[in-house]
Amino acid sequence: MRATVLYGPRDIRFEDREDPKIEKPTDAILRLAATCVCGSDLWPYRGIQKIAQPTPMGHEYCGVVEEVGSAVKTVKPGQFVIGSFCISDNTCPNCRSGYQSGCQNLEFMSRAQAPVLRVPLADGTLVGTPDKPSDQIISSLLAVSDVFGTGWFAADAANVKPGATAVVVGDGAVGLLGVLSAKLMGAERIIIMSRHEKRQRLAKEFGATDIVTERGEEGVARIKDLTNGIGADSVLECVGTEESMVQAIQSTRPGGSVGYVGVPHGMKLDVWPIFFKLVHLHGGPAPVRRYLPELIKLVWDGKAEPGKVFDLVLPLEQVAEGYRAMDERRAIKTLLQP
């Protein structure tokens, strides 16, 4: 098969690689229906996160099981499945408490920007759909694999409750799906911080009620204006820079919660100002596995269409253009069709 490999800054190649095969009895092999480029793929793509050798890319996936190892019990060949970017056994104490992204046997998926994929710990990682999905919902099912699951975790970690005021920092695919998640969890007011017109439109479609274009201290001042000087109940940090994290914490009311899912880069936090803010901080790599059944159901029942974040669809072999379009912010998120 041919698959995606990153060689160095902005050097994505689609090249011959060995077909994946069952290596352990707990593995499954999937024929992917769709895969995509993640905002987090741009860190190594831009050379900000160094790679030591050519690295196979991709961690968001859904597709049909082709083959399973002898120990796999819950998924069968022919079944359509979705998995998280975190490989987990779903049986250890951390998984049982709902933190599969802290699994004692955790691995991070890579190699998913390919037509065929090996998934370790298939029983713990994969969840099947009720039936064969229609082509129209494939993009939304793919979004569950990471961006929707991560946006959902941001909202959950930020303790969004019915009637709450939520602020979303970041207008990437995760931030936009954080808006959708907050809406589905019953937030009454959802403020997104965004300067990008196309993304603002999609945020409104997903349920945003207000848009703040200011950043930093000015942005915080606008949030205070919109919340009677108090700050928001729930703030979703979906960027991962120090500026966005400080903005999130400063926008939260005393006793409110920040859910942070932006992968931190160059972030140093001064605890002194946070101490006096009295905020809850919870975040990290999303335990998407916990939410898979619920989010698959929302998509299946037509109650959520997170696939709308894919505004560029390309054949997998044009993956390099998919990265370029996101790097240059021409696309929010690129879906790749094997």
Cβ proximity to Zn ion: between 211 and 286 the closer is 286
Q: From the CB of 332, what's the least distance to Zn ion, in Å?
A: 13
Sites for Zn ion among residues 79-108 (CB under 5 A): 88-89, 92, 95, 103
Q: From the CB of 109, what's the least distance to Zn ion, in Å?
A: 9
Q: Does 22 help bind Zn ion (rule: CB under 5 A)?
A: no
Cβ proximity to Zn ion: between 146 and 156 the closer is 146
Q: Are 92 and 104 in contact (CB under 8 A)?
A: yes
Cβ proximity to Zn ion: between 59 and 183 the closer is 59
Q: From the CB of 151, what's the least distance to Zn ion, in Å?
A: 11
Q: Are 227 and 253 in contact (CB under 8 A)?
A: yes
Among all residues, whose Cβ is closest to Zn ion?
38
Q: Does 274 help bind Zn ion (rule: CB under 5 A)?
A: no
Q: Are 259 and 236 in contact (CB under 8 A)?
A: yes
Q: Are 322 and 60 in contact (CB under 8 A)?
A: no
Site size toward Zn ion, by CB under 5 A: 7
Q: From the CB of 210, what's the least distance to Zn ion, in Å?
A: 27
Count of Cβ atoms closer than 10 Å to residue 129 Cβ = 18
Q: Are 42 and 96 in contact (CB under 8 A)?
A: no
Q: From the CB of 38, what's the least distance to Zn ion, in Å?
A: 3
Cβ proximity to Zn ion: between 263 and 313 the closer is 263
Amino acid at residue number 126: L
Q: From the CB of 110, what's the least distance to Zn ion, in Å?
A: 11
Cβ proximity to Zn ion: between 39 and 219 the closer is 39
Cβ proximity to Zn ion: between 97 and 213 the closer is 97
Q: Are 107 and 87 in contact (CB under 8 A)?
A: yes
In 3-state terms, the chain is what percent helix, strand and coil (to 5)? Answer: 35, 25, 40
Cβ proximity to Zn ion: between 89 and 233 the closer is 89
Cα 80 to Cα 133: distance, rounded to the nearest angstrom: 8
Q: Does 38 help bind Zn ion (rule: CB under 5 A)?
A: yes
| Pattern 140-179, Zn ion, x by CB under 5 A | ------x---------------------------------
**Phi–psi pair at 12, nearest 5 degrees:** -100, 130
Cα 107 to Cα 88: distance, rounded to the nearest angstrom: 7
Q: From the CB of 275, what's the least distance to Zn ion, in Å?
A: 33
Collapsing DSSP states into helix, strand and coil, what is residue 206?
helix
Count of Cβ atoms closer than 10 Å to residue 3 Cβ = 26
Q: Give the binding site for Zn ion (CB under 5 A).
A: 38, 88-89, 92, 95, 103, 146
